[in-house]
């Protein structure tokens, strides 16, 4: 029998990892579910995942608000590692890092490049961007982004939050490592995207392996946030 890992990327339990689950399993608002989500937009028994001939099958249990996989409404779908399942406010990532990366081609060797603070970003460098943060020239305009009807707008309306003050040198080093990791991964994803110009519009497209790397990064961010807000041993 297969085992499945499900990670919560968004929602009330963001950062939670449900590892080594064995199907059949259900997800919903009631305690009797294998994964319980405290969300009024999630039905009591929202969806089930079962195994058939070595494949994992997701079925929406006639939920009130429906289920989406990779942004598309579904009633039944064969799941693949890396699929994003949305129900209510929750976003679930199917598969562990190893399962998602196992089917991806090897990463290309990274060619030597400029120092991180001199790396080109937009019309300047990373240093230029950091120095401009107190201003508003790099900040998005308030309100929903184009094509995101119903968006609540920016998460931080006053601009990016400031770094914490008064950290010890060891804490600063750890924070530097985390930010360097995130900066490197996002830079790699940006380098692997390409422009697609059609009918006077420009869309940015990325290969599926690059998209999977972005999912892994989002999962890592959710894990960091959970460790900060719910550290081990906290009552």
Give 112-136 pLDDT, tens digit per residue.
344 444 544 444 544 444 444 333 3
For β-strands 17-21 and 35-36, DSSP reports them as unpaired
pTM: 0.59
Orientation angle between helical segments 208-229 and 169-191, nearest 10 degrees: 160
Give 63-86 pLDDT, tens digit per residue.
999 999 888 888 998 888 888 999
Confidence of residue 140 (pLDDT cuts 50, 70, 90): very low
Structure tokens given for 8: 């919560």
The residue with greater pLDDT, 101 or 23, is: 23
8 Å CB contact between 28 and 45: yes
| Omega before residue 24 within 30° of 0, cis | yes
DSSP-assigned states of every residue in 159-226: SSPPPPSS--HHHHHHHHHHHHHHHHHHHHHHHT-EEEEETTEEEEE--HHHHHHHHHHHHHHHHHHH
Q: How far apart are CA 62 and CA 42, in angstroms?
A: 11
Task: Using the predicted structure, report yes or no on whether residue 61 has a pLDDT greater than 50.
Answer: yes
Q: What is the pLDDT of residue 232?
A: 66
Q: What is the pLDDT of residue 49?
A: 95
Mean pLDDT of the chain: 75
Q: What is the pLDDT of residue 166?
A: 84
Q: What is the pLDDT of residue 60?
A: 95
Task: Using the predicted structure, report yes or no on whether residue 55 has a pLDDT greater than 50.
Answer: yes
Give 144-168 pLDDT, tens digit per residue.
443 444 455 666 666 777 778 887 8
DSSP-assigned states of every residue in 73-123: EESEEE--TT-EEEETTEEEEES-HHHHHHTSPPPPPPPP---GGGSEETT
39: DSSP letter? -
């Amino acid at each position: 029998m297969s085992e499945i890992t499900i990670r919560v990327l968004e929602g009330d339990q963001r950062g939670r990892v449900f590892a080594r689950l064995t199907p059949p399993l259900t997800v919903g608002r009631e305690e009797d579910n294998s994964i319980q989500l405290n969300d009024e937009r999630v039905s009591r028994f929202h969806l089930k995942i079962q195994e058939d001939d070595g494949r994992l099958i997701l079925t929406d249990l006639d939920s009130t608000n429906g289920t989406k996989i990779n942004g598309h409404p579904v009633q039944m779908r064969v799941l693949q590692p890396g699929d994003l399942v949305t129900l209510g406010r929750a976003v679930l990532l199917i598969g562990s890092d190893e399962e998602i990366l196992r089917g991806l081609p090897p990463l290309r060797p990274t060619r030597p490049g400029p120092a991180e603070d001199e790396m080109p970003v937009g019309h300047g460098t990373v240093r230029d961007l950091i120095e401009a943060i107190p201003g508003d020239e790099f900040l998005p305009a308030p309100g929903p982004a184009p094509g995101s009807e119903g968006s609540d707008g920016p998460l931080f309306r006053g601009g990016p939050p400031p770094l914490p003050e008064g950290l010890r040198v060891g804490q600063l080093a750890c924070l530097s490592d985390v930010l360097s990791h995130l900066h490197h991964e996002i830079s790699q994803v940006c380098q692997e995207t390409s422009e697609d110009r059609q009918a006077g519009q420009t869309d940015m497209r990325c290969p599926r392996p690059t998209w999977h790397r972005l999912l892994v990064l989002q999962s890592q961010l959710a894990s960091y946030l959970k460790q900060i807000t719910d550290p081990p041993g906290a009552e």
